[in-house]
Structure 1
Amino acid sequence: MEQEFDYIKDGKDYNKVSESKLILIDDDYNTFDHVVDCLVSLCDHNKIQAEQCALLTHHKGFCEILNGKSIDLELIKKDLLIYGLNVKVI
């Protein structure tokens, strides 16, 4: 049985953090295979999901690749930036 604890600091309830989105933005220098490999290894996407995200990004210019707490997404963003992907947390 999981227990949920309230984390309150300075009067703020950190359990009620709004969801953020990690957005992949199209660029002209990363290959399709490189983007797919990064999404599979760093975002825990399966190959088909990663390919769909890469295609959407190529055709629309961007794609929402993950949802979650901004703190968690910022860590993944840093890793993706190291591999040369253009990403943004909104």
Structure 2
Amino acid sequence: MRNDILEEILEEVLVQDTITEERDLMVFNDDVNTFDHVINTLIKVCRHTTEQAEQCTWIIHYKGKCSVKKGSMKELRPMKDAICEAGIDAKII
């Protein structure tokens, strides 16, 4: 393969790696989990302050869902998995 073609391919790969599509970690309301459980989970998993977690929990309660974190798929997937393991419905969108 010619050097200039190889350099062009490498440059394209590097550009694609640096451009990450920002996504939302969305948490959904249910009739099962308590406010305290959701708040504590957001503090632990998303590293929210108490105030952030409380505000998100109220939004989840009244609006049915809330974006609790923004980031790349790679960043959000472990958080989503941990929230779901805690019995709370969450999706990355």
Determine if the TM-score, normalized by the shorter chain, exceeds 0.5. Answer: yes
Deviant stretches of 4+, over 4 Å = none
- Give the corresponding residue for 1:76: 79
- Give the corresponding residue for 2:50: 47
Structure 1 residue 7 displacement after superposition = 8.7
TM-score (norm: length of structure 2): 0.83
CA distance in 2, matches of 1:19, 1:65: 13
CA RMSD of aligned residues (A): 1.7
Spell out, residue by residue over 1:65-86, the C-alpha distance to the aligned partner (whole angstroms, 9 max, x if none).
0000011111110111110110
Unaligned stretches of 5+ residues in structure 1:
1-5
Q: Contact 1:22–1:89 (CA<8 Å) still a contact in 2?
A: yes
Candidates 64, 67, 90, aligned match of 2:67: 64
Unaligned stretches of 5+ residues in structure 2:
1-10
Secondary structure, counterpart of 2:61 in structure 1: helix
Report which of the two has the higher share of strand: 1
Which protein is bigger by CA-based radius of gyration? 2
CA distance in 2, matches of 1:14, 1:30: 38
Report which of the two has the higher share of helix: 2
1:17-56 correspondence to structure 2 within 5 Å: 17-56=20-59
**Residues 15, 49 of structure 1: alpha-carbon distance in 2 compared, 3 angstrom cutoff:** same
The percent of aligned pairs where both chains have the same amino acid is: 34
Correspondence 1:8 to 2:13: yes
TM-score (norm: length of structure 1): 0.86
Give the number of aligned pairs. Answer: 83
CA distance in 1, matches of 2:84, 2:17: 27
